[in-house]
Structure 1
Amino acid sequence: MAGGGSGVTREPGGLRAALGGLTTRGRSFLAAGLAAAACAYLLGQAELLRVGLLLAALPLVCVLVLHRTRYRVAGSRTLAPARVPAAAESRVRLRVENVARLPTGVLMLQDRVPYVLGPRPRFVLDRVEPGGSREVSYRVRSDLRGRYPLGPLQLRLTDPFGMCELTRAFTAFDTLTVVPRVEPLPPVRLAGEAAGYGDGGHRSLALAGEDDIIPRGYRHGDDLRRVHWRSTARHGELMVRREEQPRKACCTILLDTRAVAHHGSGPDSAFEWAVAGAASTALHLLERGYAVRLLTDTGSTVPGPAGGGFAGGESSDTAGLLLDSLAVVEHSDAAGFTAAYEALREGAEGLLIAFFGALDEEQAALVGRIRRRSTIAVAFVLDGDAWSRGPGGIRLSPGGPPVAERLRMLRAAGWTALPVGPGVALADLWRAAGQSETAPAGAVPGQGGAGDTERSGADA
């Protein structure tokens, strides 16, 4: 019964399991019949004995008939869509088909869904003719990211008198993936990088000039117009000029998942904002041709199709794989960024985008050293003090260290650091990052400060 698949219900496990399906009415009839039979035996009343036997026999006969009923019912489930953003709805369609030669009785259809997706859906289906089918649908919705199993589908059979109910279940189930909400970002030019590096289609010559050309041997199929005659005469064999080598723009997105760095929980928490921000940034850069690598504070890299990252310009399946990975990202027990520093020290060149929670002085200094191998580094630092306050400015949890001091330390290390408070749109912050290398702690996102300076940089 996976999406678009089918299955046949399992038979109940023997007559004992069928007796366990007696309803309250059936148990009451059985108990009344046995009591009447016992009283008839003690009082010597033959008429009362007949009544007692009738009362006791009726639920037992219903159990036997229902147990011997051989319904062959196939079912399928379809999710439209199977991957949805948080707070969006998905429609689930159930199809039940009678593949037997006999009609069914009244069927109660029930699908198992996690509590977070809503109440368990139940449907009553009328008599289904041989070869006939019935379709029903319901909607599911979740404000929380994650992967949620749907199913297995269950059919509840009952007799006409309501004495017994049996449940027959399918074996297959589907999975609904709730991914972070993605916010469209404006195209900006980030400061600090050599011109042209941010162009995903940029191509650079491997050589500085005509005299510095490093030729290679001729291969079958090479264009003869690329033959380098000077080198051919020198080596005594055909030599051809090398083609221009593509230079791929790359980006590393660092996501802070430390539990100690984020306050609160739920769809409006700081951690969920950071995850949604990482998803929005990654998809934005993929669309612009960047090769994106997603890294967490634990040093683990979210694997892409090739095992190391996600290449820009690929099909929509690439974005789906990245969102699926972010759908199941949870808090880590790490205390700092040592593991991420080791992972980035090997070769974190190119663009570096980070989403940080609360930073203490030691971790801010370590993050400053992470910046050294990157040509551009942009940090979105969640203001722990602002996120720890509820409506009306009421503090809900202890606030983190002052964000202004942490921003100053990151900017001194070369980061373009921006504070993030609750309710701030990532698009405004992204635009502000493109307008200035630094932004004052109290600046309004999207507006440059007094010390803003424009610099050549990468298109992102």
Structure 2
Amino acid sequence: MTAGGPTDPDGAVRGGVRGALGGLTTRGRSFLAAGVAAAGCAYVLGQADLLRVGLLLAALPLVCVAVLYRTRYRVTGSRGLSPRRVPAGAEARVLLRMENVSRLPTGLLMLQDHVPYVLGPRPRFVLDRVEPGGRREVSYRVRSDLRGRYPLGPLQLRLSDPFGMCELTRSFSAYDTLTVIPRTEPLPPVRLAGEAPGYGDGRQRSLAQAGEDDVIPRGYQYGDDLRRVHWRSTARYGELMVRREEQPQRARCTVLLDTREDGFDGGGPDSAFEWAVSGAASVVTHMLERGYAVRLLTDTGYTLPGDGAGPHEGFVATGHDAADGAGLMLDALAVVENSGERDLSRAQGVLAAGGEGLLIAFFGDLDEEQATSAARMRRRTGAAVAFVVGGVPASSGAGGVSRTQDETVRRLQEAGWTALAVPPGASLGDLWRRAARTGIEPGAPAGSTTGFSGGWS
């Protein structure tokens, strides 16, 4: 929630009396001009009655300006945004609350909130008289089909006199930010081809060294098996110690998103690049739900949530950090744009420093040199699955898959990847099931999924 008041420095009327005179409405300017013209004619014609009418017409808007400018009631405003993070195409609700904290009732108020045009029309509300201590609440909804981060605000309050002669605008200084994340698609809980045993549970276990001198004891915790008590360490430390015979290692997954501008054709919400971004968001969410430690990597070498400097760093695991880590990666995907990178060398370097585990990549069009870099990525991973999204639609073959996609899939399969070409309008869930089939082996023909229609735009 954000709050402020028009009597604060950020909400004060700027320009003093000149600013107040600038708030005259068309009606007020017309009355003032008519009064001045009538007074001038009365002076020329010597008509005293006409002079009185002219002075009355000219004085009315000036009196309204003076009264409105010297108004001392205070109004506070706040904005509530729920939720602050929404998928593309979903709605968020914005609640505006105005409260009169002065001892005088207000006149006619008009609220206006500034929103980007992609979220919809600018909302305006008219509030009638607000009693002292009174509160008014209004709400509106915003929606965007384009992912991104959008500012909401500032909230403007327009004051008007009862005759409509003058309007003064006062602004609050606070902003809110709405984050529109990519659409995510629920994926089936299948085991991918080449996935090591135990990954579906999200954990691997490695036995500690069997030698007595290699035992690493820890303090006894309620529920530990008494058969694991290590008596020598218990005698040494003076408290009950148990053997740490199993050291859990969480299965890791790296989601690689190719953002090279040369790898994708076209733009817009239905483009191949947007499909890849949405696919990466879906996989990140799905793998975290399955218990994996996940990180997001782009072709620029940028990793989230960590820097990935060590073999086990840069991953977010389940538990308390999972929600924050997932939100961090989805926020990054909300604003990711095409990069100017020419190859995948930076991403390859990050994976070479610590790329063990499952690798799931969303590639654009890859030439021979870039496919060689992708082959080197495969060497350090337990399993590698690639979805090839890029390609030139004009050269589409059977099933809407371009020839460049077929060629990229063939190169990746020869390097040991489980690679699939993504036709226009394809469902990631269907491709996910297809990647799990054991019949997809390295060296197999680069089959193109059929049954889809449409085209990237």
What range describes the TM-score normalised by the shorter chain of this pair? 0.7 to 0.9
Could you say if the C-alpha distance between residues 158 and 268 of structure 1 is closer, same or farther in structure 2, counting changes exceeding 3 Å?
A: same
Which of 5, 8, 20 matches 2:5?
8
Alpha-carbon distance in structure 2 between the residues aligned to 1:189 and 1:219: 35
Alignment length (residue pairs):
428
Structure 1 residue 355: deviation in Å?
A: 0.4
Matched letter for residue 12 of structure 2: E
Contact persistence 1:359–1:401 (CA under 8 A): no
Report the secondary structure of 1:202's partner residue: strand
Structure 1 residue 354: deviation in Å?
A: 0.4
Matching residue of 2:20: 18
Matching residue of 1:456: none
Report the secondary structure of 1:127's partner residue: coil
Report the secondary structure of 2:274's partner residue: helix
For residues 321-367 of structure 1, give each alpha carbon's deviation from its aligned partner in whole angstroms, at most 9, with x where no partner exists.
32222111111111221111111111211100000112222212221
Alpha-carbon distance in structure 2 between the residues aligned to 1:130 and 1:231: 73
Contact persistence 1:255–1:297 (CA under 8 A): yes
Contact persistence 2:217–2:233 (CA under 8 A): no
Contact persistence 1:286–1:312 (CA under 8 A): yes
Contact persistence 2:256–2:362 (CA under 8 A): yes
Which of 296, 311, 316 matches 2:317?
311
Q: Which residues of 2 match residues 21-60 of structure 1 at below 5 A?
A: 21-60=23-62
Q: Which residues of 2 match residues 25-424 of structure 1 at below 5 A?
A: 25-207=27-209, 210=210, 212=211, 214-216=213-215, 225-226=227-228, 241-303=243-305, 308-314=314-320, 315-386=322-393, 402-424=404-426
Alpha-carbon distance in structure 2 between the residues aligned to 1:288 and 1:410: 26
Report the secondary structure of 1:384's partner residue: coil
Alpha-carbon distance in structure 1 between the residues aligned to 2:92 and 2:153: 15
Alpha-carbon distance in structure 2 between the residues aligned to 1:265 and 1:214: 62
Matching residue of 1:453: none
Report the secondary structure of 1:408's partner residue: helix
C-alpha root-mean-square deviation of aligned residues, in Å?
Answer: 2.9
Structure 1 residue 299: deviation in Å?
A: 0.5
Structure 1 residue 255: deviation in Å?
A: 0.4
Matched letter for residue 350 of structure 1: G
Could you say if the C-alpha distance between residues 343 and 66 of structure 1 is closer, same or farther in structure 2, counting changes exceeding 3 Å?
A: same
Matched letter for residue 353 of structure 1: I
1:444 aligned to 2:446? no
Could you say if the C-alpha distance between residues 304 and 80 of structure 1 is closer, same or farther in structure 2, counting changes exceeding 3 Å?
A: farther
Alpha-carbon distance in structure 2 between the residues aligned to 1:112 and 1:256: 35
Q: Which protein has greater RCO, CA pairs closer than 8 Å, 6+ apart?
A: 1
For residues 269-304 of structure 1, give each alpha carbon's deviation from its aligned partner in whole angstroms, at most 9, with x where no partner exists.
111111110010011110111111101110111225
Matched letter for residue 143 of structure 1: D
Alpha-carbon distance in structure 2 between the residues aligned to 1:348 and 1:304: 14
Could you say if the C-alpha distance between residues 117 and 231 of structure 1 is closer, same or farther in structure 2, counting changes exceeding 3 Å?
A: closer
Report the secondary structure of 1:103's partner residue: coil
Report the secondary structure of 1:435's partner residue: coil
Report the secondary structure of 1:119's partner residue: coil
Alpha-carbon distance in structure 2 between the residues aligned to 1:121 and 1:213: 72
Alpha-carbon distance in structure 2 between the residues aligned to 1:357 and 1:219: 49
Structure 1 residue 216: deviation in Å?
A: 4.4
Contact persistence 2:220–2:241 (CA under 8 A): no
Contact persistence 1:32–1:56 (CA under 8 A): yes
Contact persistence 1:287–1:313 (CA under 8 A): no
Contact persistence 1:429–1:445 (CA under 8 A): no
Matching residue of 1:454: none
Alpha-carbon distance in structure 1 between the residues aligned to 2:418 and 2:186: 21
Alpha-carbon distance in structure 1 between the residues aligned to 2:201 and 2:42: 95
Structure 1 residue 387: deviation in Å?
A: 8.5
Alpha-carbon distance in structure 1 between the residues aligned to 2:94 and 2:169: 21
Matched letter for residue 328 of structure 2: L
Unmatched tracts of structure 1, length 5 or more: 233-237, 394-398, 447-460
Could you say if the C-alpha distance between residues 444 and 62 of structure 1 is closer, same or farther in structure 2, counting changes exceeding 3 Å?
A: same
Alpha-carbon distance in structure 1 between the residues aligned to 2:307 and 2:136: 40
Could you say if the C-alpha distance between residues 322 and 388 of structure 1 is closer, same or farther in structure 2, counting changes exceeding 3 Å?
A: farther
Report the secondary structure of 1:189's partner residue: coil
Contact persistence 2:305–2:328 (CA under 8 A): no
Contact persistence 1:214–1:242 (CA under 8 A): no
TM-score normalised to the size of structure 1?
0.85
Could you say if the C-alpha distance between residues 125 and 45 of structure 1 is closer, same or farther in structure 2, counting changes exceeding 3 Å?
A: same
Could you say if the C-alpha distance between residues 227 and 101 of structure 1 is closer, same or farther in structure 2, counting changes exceeding 3 Å?
A: closer
Alpha-carbon distance in structure 1 between the residues aligned to 2:395 and 2:403: 12
Matched letter for residue 33 of structure 1: G
Contact persistence 1:383–1:421 (CA under 8 A): no
Could you say if the C-alpha distance between residues 186 and 48 of structure 1 is closer, same or farther in structure 2, counting changes exceeding 3 Å?
A: same
Contact persistence 1:216–1:240 (CA under 8 A): no
Contact persistence 1:305–1:318 (CA under 8 A): no
Matched letter for residue 323 of structure 2: S
Could you say if the C-alpha distance between residues 218 and 282 of structure 1 is closer, same or farther in structure 2, counting changes exceeding 3 Å?
A: closer
Alpha-carbon distance in structure 2 between the residues aligned to 1:7 and 1:442: 61
